[in-house]
Structure 1
Amino acid sequence: MPPLVLSHMAAPANHRRQLFAVAMLAAVIFGLGTLRLADLRAQAALLRADTARFPAHRIKPAASAGQTQAVPAVRWERLFQALASAASADVSLLAFDPAPQQRRVRLDGEARDLPALLDYLRRLGTAGTFVRVLLQSHQTLRDDPQHPVRFTVLAEWGDST
């Protein structure tokens, strides 16, 4: 029977490589952290310089109180009712971007096919809210197996809205 050795310590030569690898990894991590800290400090210095050059109290608001009152009053209920009355299962609105100053709304969406899009435009035009409905762009999505039509519409409303 071989002799029983109860030493849980391995030979010191085996640990030297592992200790060296851990030390090198720590040095690389420390170096990367130092570089990142220097980058963050440089960005903070640039922000401080911009803040000093353009203090908040010197920035003028985009519109004064008098200009804000000049924006026409919009009856949002009528716009949303017109959109709801023109809605169909074949057309989905993806974005609604109003521009009250120009009395215009931009609609981005998808239609099942071109006839569904044209029918949607007709319904928008006859809703009574919009004075002009213009198809700005459309594109058939060939990558999609159902080939839907992605579109952008500009709709203008009159003074009564």
Structure 2
Amino acid sequence: MNSSPSKKARAVGINHIALEVADIEAALEFFGSLFELKLRGRHDNMAFIDLGDQFINLSAGRSQGPDTARHFGLVVDDREAVRRAVEATGVKILPSQGLDFLDPWGNHVQVVEYQGIQFTKAPHILRGMAMEGLGKTQEALSELAQKGMVP
């Protein structure tokens, strides 16, 4: 009999997030007004938007009210470009140190810039996304170095 504890699986990352929206076409139009979108595909009442090696699943049928604290974060190459696009849509921008807003269905979206956070895409993924020139701030590199994760 083995007396050692079982090895636990390690979480490696997030493959996708699922957002409930009232209308898939309206959601594609809304998010397409904020970001360059690449539609991965559609199935029944869902649409899949590529984020390189990850994706967002838009699902028809919002079943809850607006989120104020629960949120998801999107990483972008230019947060100020997103801010301008969000302001043009007229959706509610939430008070924060960065950029947080509620989409038309009440999903709380937080937007951060790739350069300033630990989140890192492998060089071949960035190349496939035509974003190979993205770098990291010294602060982000220091945070990665503290964890032994320097490129």
TM-score, normalising length: structure 2: 0.32
Work out which of the two has the higher radius of gyration on C-alpha atoms and give 1 or 2. 1
Bigger helix share: 1
Normalised by the length of structure 1, the TM-score is: 0.31
